[in-house]
Amino acid sequence: MAKKLIHVTVNGQSHEVAVEPRLLLIHFLREQLNLTGAHIGCETSHCGACTVDLDGQSVKSCTHLAVQCDGSSITTVEGLAQNGVLHAVQEGFYQEHGLQCGFCTPGMLVRAQRLLQENPNPTEDEIRQGMSGNLCRCTGYQNIVKAVQYAAKKLSQAAAAAA
Amino acid sequence: MIPWPFEYHAPKNIAEAINLLGQYGGEAKILAGGHSLLPMMKLRFAQPEHLIDLNRIPELRGIKDTGNMIVIGAMTVENDLIRSPIIQSKLPLLAEAAKLIADPQVRNRGTIGGDLAHGDPANDHPALALALQAQFVLTGPKGKRTVAAADFFQGLYLTALAENEVLTEIHVPVMEKGTGYAYEKLKRKTGDWATAGAAVVMQVKGNVISKISIALTNLAPTAMRAEAAESALLGKELTPATLDAAAKAVMAAVDPAEDLRGDVEYKTAMAGQMVKRALGKARMRCA
């Protein structure tokens, strides 16, 4: 099948690539751009390990075609830290021990940063609902919730200081 | 898992999409949110030669209040239904029920039209559309036709859509003020389909039920209205006795398929439970 040329911006960097229509977004990111942060877990849009930010929305990149992303802007976990400084959600997962094996973590981080933009001051219940598309099979979700709360606090303090 | 190769088309308007469908017919599949179709393609249960992506057709998205009717573009995603002030105030059942569909990421992609047109009895919108007595606009080469939700679902993965038609709009009558409603969905985990689901829309005069519709998810080869249960309640008060009678009527009408969510006996029992819960909640909300 004929390849299609797509223009995408990934983590602020622009790419022009010819892709096979059947290429999934997760394979495009991992195999063509070598961005292996987003993980392939269940491959059926249940686990959320492949979550990336697509035009300001969280999506599961295992259930999206690269060819559909023409003109889009994508952020993966590799794009969260800026100038070597961890994003607040990354710091939160580190400080609150929000992971064990770490397989789900890239998806958790990307989803958490978007959740905190959608809802900067979420309740615990809103965090659990907002993160419900991401599964962790190591542990409970307690420290993940704490990590998101840590990040929410840090981001709101930073916003208050900037105001 | 990688799908079989296909040719990709991204029409910019409905006419272009219909043309492509006419050209490729049975070899083409329509891509909406993709959260049913792409997994099926990855598992090679579906191997379309041509994929017609509706995501670049702006006219298929959006929610309009036309007075007595809410018009929902077929490509409107679940999160847009949840966030819409029109849906929240005029069709609160839809806003509430959409939160029970899939998970936050999937709700950014999954569309109301895709959910309906797939013809899967496990999807939630079919029962909601039946309970709300929605109408579907199907657009084909000869123009538009309107089909009632009650006539649309014809069997497992089988709908009234012809091969050259696209579901373009969903028309839902506004829920009148004071209407009680509920959608009760038993599921094993976030993102799962219903083990059993029940939608109820109800009005009362005094204490007597003056209007009622009950529709069920994943309890038969298609979503279904529970007419016998509706008859058991119409013109009566909701009491423990009439509640039991309605649940019994539902349990007698359902025809669930055994799967990992449970056997027929369990699903039948849960159908009764979901209907009881939905009726109780809807009644509390009646004004």
Q: Do B2 and A22 count as a contact with CB atoms less than 8 A apart?
A: yes
- Mean pLDDT score, B134-155: 98
Name residues 106-145 of chain A within 8 A of B (Cβ): 111, 115, 129-133
For residue A143, what is the enclosing H or E element? helix A142-162
- Residues 6 or more apart from B62 whose CB is under 8 A from it? B72, B73, B76
| pLDDT attached to residue B65 | 98
Residues of B whose CB is below 8 A from A132: 103-104, 190-191
Residues of B whose CB is below 8 A from A130: 104
What's the CA gap between A48 and A38, in Å, rounded? 9
Position B97 pLDDT exceeds 90: yes
- Mean pLDDT score, B68-91: 98
- Within a domain: residue A95? yes
Residue B279 · residue B243 · CB < 8 Å: yes
Predicted confidence band of residue B25 (pLDDT cuts 50, 70, 90): confident
Q: Encode B197-215: b = buried (16+ Cβ within 10 Å), e = exposed.
A: bbbbbbbbeeeebeebbbb
| pLDDT attached to residue B205 | 97
Q: Give me the interface pTM, i.e. the ipTM.
A: 0.96
- Within a domain: residue A163? no
Name residues 105-144 of chain B within 8 A of A (Cβ): 105-106, 108-109
Q: Do B34 and A48 count as a contact with CB atoms less than 8 A apart?
A: no
Question: pTM here?
Answer: 0.96
Please report, as a single letter, which amino acid is at residue A44. Answer: T
Position B94 pLDDT exceeds 80: yes
- A68: domain CATH number is 3.10.20.30
What's the CA gap between B45 and B43, in Å, rounded? 5
- Mean pLDDT score, B205-224: 98
For A57-84, write each residue's pLDDT tens digit: 999 999 999 999 999 999 999 999 999 9
Portion of chain B with pLDDT greater than 90, in percent: 98
CATH code of the region B180-285:
3.30.390.50
Q: Do B38 and A63 count as a contact with CB atoms less than 8 A apart?
A: yes
Predicted confidence band of residue A139 (pLDDT cuts 50, 70, 90): confident
Structural fold of domain B7-53: 3.30.43
- Residues 6 or more apart from B245 whose CB is under 8 A from it? B232, B233
| pLDDT attached to residue A71 | 98
Backbone angles phi, psi at B141, to 5 degrees: -60, -25
Unique residue bearing structure tokens 């799967």: B259
Residue B64 · residue B22 · CB < 8 Å: no
End-to-end, the C-alpha distance of chain A in Å comes to 53
| pLDDT attached to residue A140 | 79
Q: Do A130 and B104 count as a contact with CB atoms less than 8 A apart?
A: yes
What's the CA gap between A40 and B46, in Å, rounded? 21
Q: Do A65 and B6 count as a contact with CB atoms less than 8 A apart?
A: no
Q: Based on the fold, state whether residues A94 and A65 are members of the same structural domain.
A: no
| pLDDT attached to residue B43 | 95
Counting the structural domains of chain A, the total is 2
Nearest CA-CA partner of B48 in B7, B109, B1: B7
DSSP B75-114: T-BHHHHHH-HHHHHH-HHHHHHHTTSS-HHHHTT-BHHH
Residue A61 · residue A52 · CB < 8 Å: yes
Q: Do A45 and B39 count as a contact with CB atoms less than 8 A apart?
A: yes
- Mean pLDDT score, A89-94: 98
Length of chain A counted residue by residue: 163
Beta-strand relationship, B50-53 and B7-9: parallel
Three state DSSP letters for A103-115: CCHHHHHHHHHHH
Of B10, B35, B53, the CB nearest to A63: B35
Domain C-terminal end among A37, A54, A79 = A79
Mean pLDDT, rounded, of chain B: 97
Q: How far is B282 from chain A (nearest CA, A)?
A: 24
Predicted confidence band of residue B184 (pLDDT cuts 50, 70, 90): very high
Position A2 pLDDT exceeds 90: no
Residues of B whose CB is below 8 A from A20: 5
- Mean pLDDT score, B140-148: 97
For B100-113, write each residue's pLDDT tens digit: 999 999 999 999 99
CATH 3.30.390.50, chain B: domain bounds: 180-285
- Mean pLDDT score, A27-46: 96
Q: Based on the fold, state whether residues A121 and A150 are members of the same structural domain.
A: yes
Mean pLDDT, rounded, of chain A: 96
Nearest CA-CA partner of B71 in B79, B80, B82, B61: B61
| pLDDT attached to residue A163 | 83
For residue B268, what is the enclosing H or E element? helix B264-285
